[in-house]
Amino acid sequence: MQLYGEEIGSRLLLGTAQYPSPQILAEAVKASGTEIITVSLRREGVDGAGTGFWQLIKELGVKVLPNTAGCHTAKEAVTTAQMAREVFGTNWIKLEVIGHSDNLQPDVFGLVEAARVLSDEGFQVFPYTTDDLVVGEKLLEAGCEVLMPWGAPIGSGQGLRNPDALRAMRAHFPNVPLIVDAGIGRPSDACMAMELGMDAVLLNTAVAKAGDPALMGAAMAQAIKAGRQGFAAQMMERRDMAVPSTPILGMAVFD
């Protein structure tokens, strides 16, 4: 998969928040085989991480996709992205402009505004957006080359709330990398996203809050691979009626 011209081997992008400890985070990252982790510049010093967290991130040897989690206006997101570029030395930014505190849905107006400003400044923007085609078009016009539609509200673990909308996005944007971001709760959700033809999945809570985060990281990776293979293999259409799987020719003769 190519993201902004970079070849990426793993289709799983992993968040780094809410792990029981930095060590468990490191184990989960390794077990998942991810090549991209997303990190919030505004993260609180929880998890006993402190400044050691940044050292750990460097030692993991994976690409960092800084994010603007916690930003509620375009202005805040732009400033946070500019700081992240200084800190992490990358033009990549996962752009979040949160519009509502109940479901953490994106403020798509602020998102498009911030995406335009950041793209003009040379950022390569990964926008966390809704599954709306018109917003997707506006983000591409603003300079984004990747879209990250939500599966369900962040941290809800509800899976894919609207598979039809994701299917429509795939059909409408056949050549744009689509990464489902947020709401994945279990491996089958991640697999389904890939079966719908998504290019990748970004998830955090499902792994961080699993009983065994490293094992869940590995499970998610396998599910994503299986879903991708299923999509590539072109799955059969569902049917309303039964069709015998064993064709019968004539009648059996027993005497």
Ligand X SMILES: CC(=O)[C@@H](O)[C@H](O)COP(=O)(O)O
Q: Distance (Å, rounded) from C-alpha 91 to C-alpha 16?
A: 19
Give me the catalytic one of 30, 75, 94, 209. 94
61 annotated as belonging to a binding site for a ligand: no
Q: How far is CA 37 from CA 151, 207, 223, in A?
A: 18, 13, 18
Our finding on whether 124 is near ligand X (CB under 6 A) is no
Q: Active site includes 209? A: no
Sequence-distant (≥ 6) Cβ neighbours of residue 242 within 8 angstroms = none
205 annotated as belonging to a binding site for a ligand: yes
Our finding on whether 181 is near ligand X (CB under 6 A) is yes
Pick the stretch among 20-28, 49-57, 187-195, 203-211 that binds ligand X (CB under 6 A): 203-211
Q: Distance (Å, rounded) from C-alpha 228 to C-alpha 223?
A: 9
| Cβ neighbour number for residue 252 with a 10 Å cutoff | 6
Comparison of 142 and 202: residue with beta carbon closer to ligand X: 202
| Residue 252 CB, nearest approach to ligand X (Å) | 55
Residue with tokens 């010093």: 45
Indicate the residue whose CB is closest to ligand X: 15
Nearest to 40 by CA among 13, 19, 71: 71
| Residue 223 CB, nearest approach to ligand X (Å) | 14
Q: Distance (Å, rounded) from C-alpha 213 to C-alpha 207?
A: 5
How many residues of this chain bind ligand X (CB under 6 A)? 17
Our finding on whether 38 is near ligand X (CB under 6 A) is yes
Our finding on whether 204 is near ligand X (CB under 6 A) is yes
Nearest to 18 by CA among 41, 43, 37, 1: 43
Our finding on whether 117 is near ligand X (CB under 6 A) is no
Output helix, strand, coil percentages for the chain, rounded to the nearest 5. 40, 15, 45
* Site for ligand X, residues 136 to 175, rule: CB under 6 A: 154-155
Q: Which of 32, 34, 67, 119 binds ligand X (CB under 6 A)?
A: 67
Q: Which residues are annotated as a binding site for 1-deoxy-D-xylulose 5-phosphate?
A: 155, 182-183, 204-205
**Residues binding ligand X (CB under 6 A):** 15, 17, 38, 67, 69, 128, 154-155, 181-184, 202-206
Active site residues: 94
